[in-house]
Amino acid sequence: MSTATRPRIRIVRPFFADLIAPLRTEADVVVEAERARDSAELNTLLLDCDAAIVGLSDRIDAAVIAGNARIRLIANLGVGHNNLDLPALTRAGIAASNTPEVLNESVADYAFALLLAAARRLGEAERWLRAGQWQAPNRFDDWLGVEVHGATLGILGMGRIGQAIARRAAGFSMSVLYHNRSRLDTAREHACRARYVDKATLLRAADFLMLVLPYTEQNRHAIGASELALMKPGSVLVNIARGGIVDDAALAEALHARRIAAAALDVFEDEPAPHPRLLMLDNVVLSPHIASASTPTRRAMAQLALDNVRAVLGLAPGPPPSVLNPDVLDRAARKPQGPSDKSILDLSEGAESGTGPNSATS
């Protein structure tokens, strides 16, 4: 491919150099440093490229794509995509993609790591030990935690990751209840050994409440003061979904007052700054949005983003594997063919043949 016709790809969220290297043989690839950027800087960065790979902290909205007649794809490194203004991208004829499926098992593993750490006060105990406070044998009734085996696990949001978490619960002999925007079919419920209940019942019955639902305006503060008041006094809340689903101020108050026993959070309303009261509490385990951070999973996510880029730019045959707004590609296919349309025209056939993201809530 001549230099004049080589597409330009900008990677705003840098990742594994060995995965990027093959792309350099067919495109001009610019890898940016990892840092926070405002809308104006992102707008400038994206003006001269045909595709961009971004992260969850990069808010791509109408202001960022204003005046950009060149870019064809925003590839998001993450299954969630509330950082993307999909209606604005679709109106502008820009495809968007995410990285579903490849992180389900890794995130489900981490969800149980958080659950166990909060239940058995692991973070609190480690801080106590590191501070040199283990000067004598523990009292017999010190460090009492919450039992996991045989408990009731409540899952709010029963998509791909929620189902993977439910399957793991069997190993702890847990009863599984769930609430979702739509009920699973009988076969999936049986595979997950899960029972559908309404949200209020879920909150009242769960010993452990696991949040695995996507962030939308409708789901903002899905767990607030009134929901926390319904939970058992000895229960544990785990959020691996998105910040903003929980009212962090209300949660901090509930934890401080011991209205629930503990919480474990991988996501926060104002990332990367957790609510300051949460930082002061011993009965909450905090981690910096790393549930998918295993080497195989992060590499698979990066490769999926690259596969979407290569397909949309016509560097690989077939439709992109996980485009969120495939109607953009379909519209492009109906345009009169011109030199700038060629790559999308070649791949758009079959773009709506089930290759888009699963409709499950995670």
Please state, in angstroms and rounded to a whole number, the distance separating the CA atoms of residues 338 and 345. Answer: 9
Q: How far is CA 158 from the centre of its chain?
A: 14
Active-site residue among 271, 277, 331, 352?
Answer: 271
CB 177 within 8 A of CB 209: no
Q: Is 271 a catalytic residue?
A: yes
Q: Is 275 a catalytic residue?
A: no
Q: Report the interhelical angle of 104-119 vs 295-312 (nearest 10°).
A: 150
- Provide CB contacts within 8 A for 114, sequence distance 6+: 238, 240, 264, 265, 266, 285, 287
Active-site residue among 13, 168, 289, 310?
Answer: 289
Q: Could you identify the residue written with the tokens 């011991």? A: 258
Say how many CA atoms lie within 13 Å of 330 toward its Cβ.
Answer: 11
Tokens coding 160: 């791909």
End-to-end CA, the chain: 39
What count of other Cβ atoms lies within 10 Å of the Cβ of residue 325? 21
Stated length of the chain: 362
- Provide CB contacts within 8 A for 175, sequence distance 6+: 151, 152, 153, 195
Please state, in angstroms and rounded to a whole number, the distance separating the CA atoms of residues 43 and 32. Answer: 14
Please state, in angstroms and rounded to a whole number, the distance separating the CA atoms of residues 321 and 157. Answer: 24
Which H or E element spans position 228? Answer: helix 225-230
Q: Could you identify the residue written with the tokens 């962090």? A: 248
Active-site residue among 168, 179, 242, 310?
Answer: 242
Q: How far is CA 14 from the centre of its chain?
A: 18
Which residues are known to be catalytic? Answer: 242, 271, 289
